[in-house]
Structure formats: structure tokens, C-alpha cells
Amino acid sequence: MESNDTKKAKWIVLPLLIAKVIMVLSSIFVMQIVAVKTLGVFKGGNFNDYMNAFNKDLMKDSSNLLISVIYASVTAITMLAIFKAIFADDKEAMLFKRAITKPAHMILGLVLFVVSVQYVCAFVMDVIATAFPEWLEAYNALIESMGAGPDMTIGWFFYSIILAPTCEEFVFRGVTLSAARKLFPAWLAILVQAVFFGYFHGNAMQGAYTAVFGIALGYIMYLYDNILLAILAHALFNLLGQYGGTFLLDHTSTIASVFFLILGTLIVCYVSVLLLKSGAKPVKNDDVNADI
């Protein structure tokens, strides 16, 4: 007979599939809205004229934003409900556990950790872009289509900094990681959810660096069992990516500068991990991996 932990193993994969389904349904729902709206203002002509007008309206930034907002909101609510249903009686699987012993260490560690991971992801992107320039082109096209960057609209800012981090954390650091830790040791569970997190983004370039970032977010969740801290770190990462990108790798024109930047990043990352561990209660529910 299957144990309760084994039964929960399916929830390692199901959140990703559910999120994809909600994304498709959100797209269909918005398509219906756009179709009716287009029909309401259509001045006449043949079916091809209507379809051209419909496709033009569907490709508008406002339509893409509406799809994203509906998807993120519904997914976050769905994952929270799933977590409560699946892990209601599991004292080890927590989303809002207060595991902070030194708030100052936690805050400083979180900021330094996110900044250093931002640099690590930038290094990863730089290496991948050199090896696969077509990946970078596809990624840049995606970012441009979303209106991302310093000049992004208020709607996309709200989605990128608030809705997307909340939704994705409930999916991957909430349900997926909690289920994975029932089957795997902590380090492997963190790695598994990070791979799924990267795969979820589809685009090869974005998938690569979000997988790296997913490991960092999984580690924060492992230490604190607090989804709010993971959401905060995710939001800070996105914010830094939107408005701090000009500071990353801008002054690395020589081999020496690249070396010292990498060295500095590793040092800051190590210090931030020490601060994060100092600010959290000891991890007692996974003694084998308590010091990862």
C-alpha cells in the first residue's frame, strides 16, 4: 500500500501541468473577449477582414497583459488551495512558518543573495549567448514583446514584480518543492523544482538562468519555510533585472575585470548564505541535509 508521502509524489509534476492548462484556458478566455470586442466595432467587410482585425487586437499589449494577469491570479489561488488540501496535516510542509531568529541578518543576507545571484545569472546568460546567439535573439524578442525594461507599462510592472513572483512561488517553491521533499533529500528536491521552474519558461535562454535562480529560491524556502520571503526575493530579483541591468557586466572589458567581478560575486554570495543561515532557525526536519 502506498504511503502518504508516495501519494504526494505526483504533485511534483502536477503543478507545472496545471499551470500550463490555466495558461491555455486564460488565453482562450481572453480570445473570446477580444473576438466579441472586435465584432462590436467591426465596420463591415468579409470574414478575412474580420480575422485580420481580430488578430491585430489579440496581439495588442493589453490583450497579452490581460492573459498574464488572469493566469497568474487564478494559478496562485489554485495552488494555495491545493497546498492546503494536500499538506493540511503535514507539520513539516509549511508556507508561512515564522523561522526568523535574526531579522537583520535575514534582510541583509536576502538582499546580498539576490544581488549576487543576479550576477551569477548574468554570467550564465553571457556564456550561453556566446555559445548559442540564436537563443539570445529569441529571448530579446520575447522581452520586447512583453514591454519589459525601464520603460515598461504600469500594468506589466505590477505583473512582473507582484503577480508573477507570487504565482510562480506558490507553484514551484510551494506545492512542487513540498511534494519533492517527501520523496527526495533536500538538495535533490531543490534541484528538481528548479529544473521544472526553468522548463516552465519555455524560452531556452530564460529557462537556463531561471533554473539557476530557482535553486536560490528553493534554498531560501528550505531555510525559512516561508513563501513570503521567496516571493520577496523573486520580486527583488525581477526589479533589479528591470532597472539595474545597466550595472551588470558593464565594466568587464578586460579579463582582469571579469575575474575580479566573478571573485567578488562568489564572496558576496558566500557571505549572504552565512547571513541567511544565521537568520534562520536550524533546519530540524531534514537532519541529513541540515547544513546545505
Task: Look up residue 131 and give its three cell numbers.
Answer: 555559445
DSSP state of 253: -
pLDDT one-digit tens code per residue, 177-186: 999 999 999 9
Q: How confident is the model at residue 43 (pLDDT cuts 50, 70, 90)?
A: confident
Residue 286 scores a pLDDT above 60:
no
pLDDT computed for residue 138 by the predictor? 81
Task: Please count the structural domains in the chain.
Answer: 1
Between CA 167 and CA 57 the distance in angstroms is 26
Residue 124 scores a pLDDT above 90:
no
Predicted model pTM: 0.89
Strand partners, 207: none
Q: Describe the chain by its helix, strand, coil percentages, rounded to 5.
A: 80, 0, 20
Structural domain for 219, as ranges? 4-289
Task: Look up residue 43 and give its three cell numbers.
Answer: 465596420
